[in-house]
Amino acid sequence: MPGILIVEDDLELREMLRISFARKKFTVLEAENGRDAILHFKPSVTDIVITDLIMPDEDGLKVIMKLKEQKPSIRIIAISGGGKVGPGNYLNLAKALGANAVFSKPFSINDLMIKIDELLEPEQHD
Amino acid sequence: MLKAKSDNHGGEDYLRYLENEKKISDQIIDYSRSMITIINRKYGYEKANATFCRAHRMLTDSIVGRSLGDIWGENTFKAYIKKNIDECFAGKTVRYEASFETPGLGIRYFEVIFRPLSTGNGEVTHLLAETTDIDDLIHSRKAVIEKEEEFRTFETNLPIGFLRVDPEGKIIHANRTFLRIMECGEEVPVLGINVRDFYVEQGIFEMQLDQLAEFNTRSFGRVYLRNCKGREIPCRLSAYVALDDNGRTSYIDFALEDSSRELMLENRLLQAQKLETIGALAGGVAHDFNNILATISGYAEMLQEDLKSDNNHYKKASRIMSAVSRGLSLTKQILTFSRQVEQEKVPVSVAEVLKETIGFIKPVLPSGITIKSKLSKNVVWVLADPTQLFRIFLNLMTNAFQAMEEKGGKLAVTQTVVEGRSVRSELNKDIVADEYVLISFKDTGKGMEPSLLKRIFEPFFSTREFGKGTGLGLSVVHGIVTEMEGEILVSSEKDKGSVFNIYLPVLKYTAEPLAGEKRKKILFFSGNKHESRILIIALESSGFDLISANDSDDLYSIFTEPGNSPDLIIYMADTEMIKQEDLAGLYNELKIETPCILITDPDHGVIEENLLNSGIIKQHLLKPVSLRELRDAIQFAIK
């Protein structure tokens, strides 16, 4: 059962993500901002992280850097709704900092699942 | 004046008296600052006063009896003096000014007066010559003239309009700059006109006079004046009242500057700031709104998962999804307007996109409207997302057609290259690119009022009836152009038409085939060759190999030909020519497993459910599709 950490400050969106991942038999962990995510990060039970980028108390970029530091094999997907400070740049930056995939809000849950499946597949050596 | 005494004082007394009188008058003559001489008909001096003698450094005795030729030189006498003397002997007083040299004074300017002296019978026997040194006077007079001249030149060349009016406001004097600003031609027709007639608003002039009188206000800020051609000019005005000795107004001087340009720049800055503010605000709203949309779509997707596709409620969930799509297309536009979406830019030929846009719009051109384009022959490159370029061109052309809808008209599209420094002031930029491509859209439509013109780039500002369009069009155009470091300028005249000028920095670039590692092959399947051409241009510039198919026969032959199968199909489902089931049918028939990206128009056309549910479609995009979105989708679809 893969463990997923959802870092999102929008309560309703976080709830929706929690439900949809629970349905897919993920172990779901939640954090409502970057600081909590970093502080309470459990590397042993977290395989994948979905993080918003623009949040109060440490943004998603910090989350990506800190968690990658603690667990280099962690898979991270950054999600952003655009606006405020240039999401295009933010998503690019997230990629540059090590996010494995980026999604703009709103996104298709189905696409997100496909991406996660792909990221969790054991690495192929060919 | 001494009075002559009567004879009965005796002869001796009288002689003494006369002698005394003569002495006094000789003294008066000697003390005169003028040179005074008496000249006889033989051109000889009979008398000379002390001033004359001093000037000539001679004693009286050595002058009296000598001729003028002797004293002045024969040549000078003949050339300059004789004719004046002859004229005087003829009975006229002769007066002239001349510069000549005397031993005592050097070269100076003199006023010479010859007065005829006659005996009792009227015969002129002598003349009285009076020569006064007016050198200082002449010099100061000359200095005054020079100063005046200098001032006049200064006043003429001053970039400030200058006007002098009498206390009633009648124009006494106007300088050339005033005439130029006011487009009045010559000074003469302006003289006598009351300055208050120039004021657009009645009563302002009187108010200014009051302010001048009461508070000695000098500067009046901006005032609108109507010039001789009837145009209203914003002017910066200051005034000064000159008072006479009694404290009454003797005249009023006005200085005025044409502040049209200043006002224009001020307005533009204000507009830019306003758009920036609205952009930041709208961008923030869009961000929060995207969060909400994500929540809605997530639950709708879960609903669909829970329901079978033949369930009654399944369709309802689909409707929620399409509503989310529309919401997304709105937030996308807002973010584009507020320049919070990074554009994926590739080198693109402006003319090519323009040609395709014109080709796209021509078939749907309303009757009575013609379009004429003049594009430069040389390929001009800019760094842009071709889909965004297409979008701004399409938007401006559609607007032009709507402006000409009622009466018909002509849209002229031109593309030229201009030097950056020649348009620096027009663009109001400190730093300009070397060259700009200027794309101009000039229509003969109904035009716009200035009040409207000011607001057209604001989001949600629409002149169309409520419900028609979002009012985001031009604001999005503005956002895209600004993002490209370009500028969009508009001018318009009511009932005459509008001109939209877009300036984009020219990219120095020569098209070269991209490095040929294994490139992905994309089949572009669409009925509209112009619209798809834009996407093909964009994708080719991004390093993909493109093949296109316009109908199902094309598609069939591509897939049946061995070794030709693409890595991806992009299907733009917007035309009558391709039925959506064709694609699904073909996939089935040929057992194709190539991933497909579907692009649809959110405004029309219901997507065939069975196509969406067939599992063929890996990504579904809504128009307008940006290059970035398309590339992200491709990346997602081809693993």
Q: What is the ipTM of this complex?
A: 0.87
Q: Give dist(CA B581, CA B558) in Å, integer.
A: 18
Asked if B301's CB is within 8 angstroms of A105's CB, the reply is no
Return all residues near B159 (Cβ < 8 A) that are at least 6 apart.
Answer: B177, B257
Residue with tokens 């969930």: B317
Q: Give dist(CA B472, CA B254) in Å, integer.
A: 47
Q: Give dist(CA B167, CA B151) in Å, integer.
A: 24
Q: Beta partners for B256?
A: B161, B237
By CB neighbour count within 10 A (0-12 exposed, 13-18 middle, 19+ buried), where does B602 fall? middle
B94 to each of B36, B48, B127, B129, B217, how far by Cα in Å?
Answer: 15, 19, 10, 9, 55
Q: Chain A residue closest to B304 (CA)?
A: A110
Return all residues near B464 (Cβ < 8 A) that are at least 6 apart.
Answer: B402, B471
Q: What six digits make up the tokens of B479?
A: 């956002």
Please provide the size of chain A in residues.
126
Helix (H, G, I), strand (E, B) or coil at B294: helix
Q: What percent of chain A has pLDDT over 90?
A: 59
Pick the residue of A84, A113, A126 with the most B CBs within 10 A to test the interface with B by mutation: A84
Return all residues near B70 (Cβ < 8 A) that are at least 6 apart.
Answer: none
Which among A23, A83, A115 is the nearest to B335, CB-wise? A83
Chain B closest-CA separation from residue A91 CA (Å): 10
Give just the sign of the alpha carbon dihedral B418, B422, B423, B429. Answer: positive
3-state per-residue secondary structure call for B406-439: CCCEEEEEEEEEEEHHHHHHHHCCCCCCCEEEEE
Asked if A81's CB is within 8 angstroms of B288's CB, the reply is yes
Q: Where are the alpha helices (DSSP H) in B307-372?
A: 312-337, 350-361
User: Which long-range contacts does A121-126 make (Cβ < 8 Å, 24+ apart)?
Assistant: none
Q: Give dist(CA B12, CA B626) in Å, integer.
A: 131
Q: Chain B residue closest to A116 (CA)?
A: B636
* pLDDT score for B96: 93
B296 and chain A in contact, CB less than 8 A: yes
* pLDDT score for B375: 87
B87 to each of B77, B91, B95, B127, B132, how far by Cα in Å?
Answer: 14, 7, 11, 11, 20
Q: Give dist(CA B478, CA B282) in Å, integer.
A: 15
**Cβ burial B247-281 (10 Å sphere, 16+ → b, else e):** eebebbebbbbbbeeeeeeeeeeebeeebeebbee
Q: Count of H helices and E strands in chain A?
A: 5, 5
What is the pairing mode between strands B249-258 and B45-48? unpaired
Amino acid at site B410: K
* pLDDT score for A50: 95
Q: What six digits make up the tokens of B623?
A: 């128009």
> Residue B483 is inside which H or E element, if any?
helix B473-483
Q: Chain B residue closest to A92 (CA)?
A: B342
Q: Which mean pLDDT values do the consecutive 10-residue runs of chain B (639 residues) have?
A: 54 88 88 92 92 90 90 90 92 92 89 89 89 92 92 85 90 89 81 89 85 78 88 90 87 90 85 84 86 93 87 87 85 81 84 92 87 88 92 91 90 93 80 90 91 82 59 84 90 92 90 66 83 87 84 78 81 63 72 83 62 75 83 83
Query: What angle do the packed helices B627-637 and B529-541 form, to 10 degrees?
Result: 70
Average pLDDT over residues A47-51: 95
* pLDDT score for A59: 86
Q: How many of the other CB atoms lie within 10 Å of CB of A91?
A: 24
Which among B299, B305, B340 is the nearest to A86, CB-wise? B340
